[in-house]
Structure 1
Amino acid sequence: MIEIRGVTKSYGDDRPALDGLDLKVAAGEALAVLGPSGSGKSTLLNLIAGLDRPSSGSVAVDGLRVDRMSESALAKYRRSRIGIVFQFFNLLDDLTVLDNVLLPAQLTGTPRGASRRRAGELLEHLRIARHARAFPGRLSGGERQRVAVARALMNRPSLLLADEPTGALDTASAADVRELLTGLHADGQTIMLVTHDRALAAACATTTIELVDGRIAGGVR
């Protein structure tokens, strides 16, 4: 699903954010990327999402060379191949839960009937259907993160990327999201999560790496 070869990313300072990184993630795997702030975790996620480009090396996802794509191709790739869950949800507060979840399907031109059926299935599966007509500001942090996950899964992505998905949550909500991600992986979803939360990594991940100074420290486990 993911194949990274010899990737270096520099921003013009002395130490690169990523330094000759090699990494493979199989379809159906759940990978957790741990490491201190500044270790290169977010840079790695951004390269896989096509939000940034490597200084050298190659990034392939689902058979596509992401590092070689045009901006228009990258936009299509992000709409159709990956889903992204952010630390602070990034929901649109003036849209209802249902409309937030429907947004990715609208961007790809999915027929309204099919998209509403898909959204309804996701909201039921993630146990937030009762909030379909509510606005995000009325929900708890854990509920908002469930909405964000539903939105990320709307277009049936091959890969789900999660950037500190429990970082803004209280203990109970974080446990709720851990359960959610574990269930999604059990259903066959390929997941890559960047986190400081070792409990999340232990609960959800089949493979864990730790980045230090842009390199994998201590191997893959």
Structure 2
Amino acid sequence: MTAPLIEIRDVTKSYDTDRPALAELTLEVREGEAVAVLGRSGSGKSTLLNLIAGLDRPTQGTVTVAGERVDRLTEAGAARYRRERIGMVFQFFNLLDDLTVLDNVLLPAQLAGLAARTARSRAAELLEQLGVARHQRAFPGRLSGGERQRVAVARALMNRPPLLLADEPTGALDSASAADVRRLLTELNAAGQTVLLVTHDTALARSCASRIVELADGKVLRDAAVAA
């Protein structure tokens, strides 16, 4: 069997509090899985996401993603890792309002040094695939919440990352737009994209993921497949 895409071993993360945010947590995610990390505020799910993204380091334990020890990376190495290995989708989109939709999607490729022609071809492909090609010259403020999240997903996938991280991706959306994004994440995973979704929404987790990992007090309370 191949190594997991994400391998977290005995990770503890402590801040200046009595209780650690994560406590000796071990977790694996295989390539092609869609895993939802579920938990209330303070359960440790955001800390876990930050460790996987290389935005923070564990106090102890190891974090390995796509064969790379993320917990050992320098600041420059972590930035390169995020460009090449992961795509990130956030609750509030994090699009740049003074750039067009197309330029927002192109940004990761520009940072990675991808040739302009290749980057534009990839961006056009993604915008078409995600149903927002007609908005490529518009600015994000002119789009609906669901459309902005589709643009954010296109940006996250620009450099073909093996892992897509989604942090409360429907938290700022109305019910119709949220359903749209849920379908999109399901379709991406069905096409082979590995997805790790962090949420407090049980309905979102059950609709998008094949496996739910529930956290409480920085520990894995439950890790189970979603019933078909």
Range into which the TM-score falls when normalised by the shorter chain: over 0.9
The count of residues paired between Structure 1 and Structure 2 equals: 221
- SS, match of residue 12 in structure 2: strand
- The percent identity for this pair of structures is 72
- Number of the residue aligned with 1:61: 65
| Alignment of 1:200 onto 2:182 | no
- Number of the residue aligned with 1:212: 216
Say if 2:211 and 2:223, in contact at 8 Å, map to a contact too.
no
The worse-fitting range, judged by mean Cα deviation, of 139-148 and 201-210 is 201-210
- Number of the residue aligned with 2:10: 6
- How do 1:1-221 residues align onto structure 2 when only pairs under 5 Å count? 1-221=5-225
Deviation track 1:142-166 (CA, whole Å, cap 9, x = no partner) reads 0000000000000000100000000
Deviation at 1:220, TM superposition (A): 3.3
- SS, match of residue 103 in structure 2: helix
Provide TM-score, normalisation by structure 1.
Answer: 0.99
Structure 2 distance, partners of 1:26, 1:67, is 19
Deviation at 1:96, TM superposition (A): 0.4
Deviation at 1:218, TM superposition (A): 2.8
Say if 1:166 and 1:197, in contact at 8 Å, map to a contact too.
no
Structure 2 distance, partners of 1:153, 1:192, is 14
Deviation track 1:55-110 (CA, whole Å, cap 9, x = no partner) reads 00000000000001111111100001000000000000000000000000000110
Structure 2: gaps (5+ residues)? none
Say if 1:3 and 1:24, in contact at 8 Å, map to a contact too.
yes
Deviation track 1:173-198 (CA, whole Å, cap 9, x = no partner) reads 00000000000000000000101222
Aligned CA RMSD, in angstroms, stands at: 0.7
Structure 2 distance, partners of 1:201, 1:220, is 12
Provide TM-score, normalisation by structure 2.
Answer: 0.96
Say if 2:124 and 2:133, in contact at 8 Å, map to a contact too.
yes
Change in Cα spacing, 1:219 to 1:111, as seen in structure 2 (3 Å) is: closer
Deviation at 1:219, TM superposition (A): 3.4
Deviation track 1:117-152 (CA, whole Å, cap 9, x = no partner) reads 000000000000000000000000000000000000
Structure 1 distance, partners of 2:56, 2:157, is 22
Structure 2 distance, partners of 1:98, 1:189, is 22
Structure 2 distance, partners of 1:93, 1:46, is 24
Structure 1: gaps (5+ residues)? none
